[in-house]
Amino acid sequence: MEYKSQRSETLKVKPRLIIHGGAGNITHAYLPPKDWEAYRRSLLTILAKTNTYMTTRISTGRLPGALQTATHAVSLLENDPLYNSGHGAVFTRDGTNELEASVMVSRGHKKRAVGVSGVRRVRNPILLARAVLEHGEDDLEVAAGRPDVPSAQGHGHLNGDELTATLAARYGLETVAPAYFFTQRRWDEHVEALRCEDREGAVAATWSDKVFLPQGTCGAVALDEEGVVCVATSTGGLTNKLSGRIGDTPTVGAGFWAGEWEDDGDGGLGSTAWDSGVRGVLGRLGSSVGISDGLQRLLADCLPQPLMYTPLPTRGGGSTTVTRSFAGSGTGNGDSFLRVAALHSVVSRAQWKRESSAEALSAIAGPRGELQKSAGDRWGRTGEGQGGIIGIELTVVRGPQGDVLETRSEVLQDYNCAGMFRAWVDDDGRSHAEVWRGDSTVGGLLR
């Protein structure tokens, strides 16, 4: 599907940002106050640095785009050994590091989505994914005499050490020796989990109900002033995964998604069952049906809340156009995200079931959602189904002449497991960091 321009010269929205640093069996026992303080400080620092980057105009006089903002945030997460990506990546069963990353934009780039996997020598895999996306503007063009390699050609997913290192060198990205990704903490988790597997037999070395073994990712979702949403995600994968295993992080629709579509309603934001019912009846009667003042008052008297009549869009010359955009990043057990195509399931519910993205996200990643259901009776015993999703939704309402009547954006999050590291900037510009429900640490006011 081709995505039409949103006539950005008339659309200026407030940039938004949310990041995450993994989800899973993150209990209070695993994360005592001093350790949570380290994560809290890191999350708020990365959020503040990225917010400054996002709101500082560049040489062209414009603010950085959503792609630049999201990948900036994730590169900072990759450089922090606290998180399971980049320098903090977990080990495979064979004691190696195999990294994955992905980016996707709602519009503005021909490829729209790129994933990389099996990365062993690229310092920041997220920057490689971004470079492949950006070079897609040329790679997808047909021109005589253009060499096919080394380039990503039209491909959207690139796998393997040799290929990813070659492309990184071509794009001028920093490469490192595999030893760069070693951290003692991750090595100890790798060894201890294998020992537990030997001792306890039935317990897999990828998850434990006693301690937190990283099986999540790092990610960021950004909205820019032109209404583009972007998701960027990076991971080392599951602790003690099989070498060669590819998870949800580089798989479009499983661990990440970004897109936009036109909606007949108001995007689920502010709509009610009353509105939906009246809209449905009038839709079946046809666009020529109007509601008199008297009938409006009668409906308000007879129907349940809300009692205020909401003007309904009409078809034809007086119609309004509602465009919704959503981007989301998942974290948790990647095999489960793959099983239910988690992120594409969110956007499918929002688009075709007429749910708000918040409702759709919770239906997949929230308690008793589709991710949890996918584990069956193994829930709580194997790590299956555990995870969370962060996202941003934008709704733009335009008048008959294309003029912007209203814009609404919302930062979204939900999870079904013990905890999820995340941080975001709220509507008032204040920073927040959380790992458990209701424990929000409010940071400073970010400008």
Catalytic positions are: 217
Whole-angstrom distance, CA of residue 393 vs CA of residue 362 = 14
Whole-angstrom distance, CA of residue 265 vs CA of residue 281 = 14
Q: Is 333 annotated in some ligand binding site?
A: yes
Q: Which two tokens stand for residue 97?
A: 């590091």
Would you call 357 helix, strand, or coil by DSSP? Answer: helix
Whole-angstrom distance, CA of residue 433 vs CA of residue 40 = 6
Q: Is 57 left (phi over 0), alpha (psi -120 to 50) or beta?
A: beta
Residue type, 268: G
* Chain position carrying tokens 């999350």: 43
Whole-angstrom distance, CA of residue 73 vs CA of residue 103 = 12
How far, in Å, are 40, 102, 117, 129, 167 from residue 155 at the CA level? Answer: 38, 13, 13, 11, 13
Check residue 262 and report its DSSP letter: E
Q: What is the CA radius of gyration of the chain?
A: 23
Q: Is 334 annotated in some ligand binding site?
A: yes
Contact partners, residue 138, CB within 8 Å, separation at least 6: none
Q: Is 314 annotated in some ligand binding site?
A: no
Q: Is 198 annotated in some ligand binding site?
A: no
- What's the burial of 33, exposed, middle or buried (CB within 10 Å: 0-12/13-18/19+)? exposed
Q: Is 248 annotated in some ligand binding site?
A: yes
Whole-angstrom distance, CA of residue 239 vs CA of residue 254 = 19
Question: What are the strands of the beta sheet with 321-332, ordered from one edge?
Answer: 256-263, 321-332, 387-398, 404-415
Whole-angstrom distance, CA of residue 74 vs CA of residue 144 = 37
- Residue 367: asked if its preceding bond is cis (omega within 30°), the reply is no
Please name the helix (run of DSSP H) or strand (run of DSSP E) that holds residue 388, with its range, or none: strand 387-398
Whole-angstrom distance, CA of residue 444 vs CA of residue 447 = 9
Query: Would strands 157-159 and 113-119 be described as parallel, antiparallel, or unpaired?
Result: parallel
Whole-angstrom distance, CA of residue 15 vs CA of residue 27 = 33
Whole-angstrom distance, CA of residue 116 vs CA of residue 86 = 13
Question: Which residues are annotated binding-site positions?
Answer: 245-248, 331-334
Which residues does the annotation place in the binding site for substrate?
245-248, 331-334
